Structure 1
């Protein structure tokens, strides 16, 4: 035990894992098992999400390329993005009878044709070496650790969705720099409406349902509802019709009441760094209301993820891979 407390002085991931080991009650684990704590799972997903957000991989299913930063923080949006990248060339090739090279070229033109403004956060994101340095120092070791954990299938699924979307984005960025797939602007690039509609609303809906389920589940499981069918029906109808609407109203209009919009308009440099103010054709930087609403939803998802893990996460049956234990023993 003294060795563990001494090891807490280490920086980075080792300190986080060892701290969690110390906090785990000895009675709940055997000599050969170390339960995976919920802070490690939540922290891993947050780092993988930020890794995807910092990637300038163009439009997300037809949305403005600069709104991608917060939209891609949702695993649901990553799935949409992956489906679009995989299906769009096939759709173009079969519908318009062109070769796969032309289909990939049109995909790149639709996603990453025009450069992102070379400033603030986007200037950092466009530096490939900086993205890969961050990936090697943070998401890569966490991804390897996540792959070796036992008993956390849902955490692994969400984490690998973020990783898969990031890898596909890097491939597209690379292809856009080589001549056979030049991503110059093309006129009348065919659209694929089946995958470009309502993705933003899906992000909003996913956040609302997550928050609703998180806060409403304790009421639905109370004993008074279990023994009173009429009351249970009324509460469930309230859950379906009223609570999601109230949460949507708070998420969408709440920032207006606290003056967030006016604050961001007065501090435009901060707005640029936060990716909520984009240049128009005249070079002015109007505040993008939709973008900062998505930013609020991103923060809501972060809070939801932490609370969900803290309330519902069950470490029983989880374990670290043997090589992690060997490293700490060594």
Structure 2
């Protein structure tokens, strides 16, 4: 693509009679450069990226050296290399080169030779760069891989992480009870999704860490009881179920190399809304724990979902 500000001639040279004449590219510069690059590139079987080359500068300056009676010139070439993807082209690198030359009045072909050499130098420059970058540069990634990890976290006074072998105890509820609340207890539960993208042998590797937790300093109880503790534990279990479903959804979604971040964010927000919806359904279905028959029924549904059987949960969410 010709991105020069002035797109007419590239400069002036001296003819044999000593007169200045403009130097123009035969036809269109974009077409001429495209033809040159296509002739000089062997794509092979590994050409997986479309590269856009922008011509920012092509300028010639020439003068007569009275001592040598030769014409001395310099041609400057400035290019930008971009990779084309699903969005706007991504800048990779720039090339800026120049060649000085001398010629007699009979060697007008010298100018064309130097221009060709400059473009060839830019191609070699880009080829060397991409050979060094194609396995580590994010813009040149060929494939995508998702790694979901759940590391065991140490619970603290400020945050208790979900552990199947470590159910909640009333000591985890450290906030001061709200006297005006009709509830006997309140638990603050949620989950987090954190990640980092790395390059590994030409692939983007997105690592995601999911944590399910409750916040003791925002959770409280008025009158402790085993029945009440089970009700609050089930709130915690609901978040674990949502996190499990999010992991399943992400592992079974075809994540696109260009859109994976948006896809992951969308899945996370959907799961967050699902968590809130399930908590509302649970509270309604148990009347905030006051309906013992409803509590028993939900205990069974939650146990099934923790074991990976989500049919009942999905039926409830469809209502």
Scaled to the shorter chain, the TM-score interval is under 0.3
Structure 1 or 2, whichever has the larger Rg, is 2
Tell which has more relative contact order, 1 or 2 (C-alpha 8 A, sep 6+). Answer: 1
> Structure 1 length as normaliser, TM-score?
0.19
TM-score (norm 2): 0.20
Structure that is richer in helix per residue:
1
Bigger proportion of residues as strand: 2
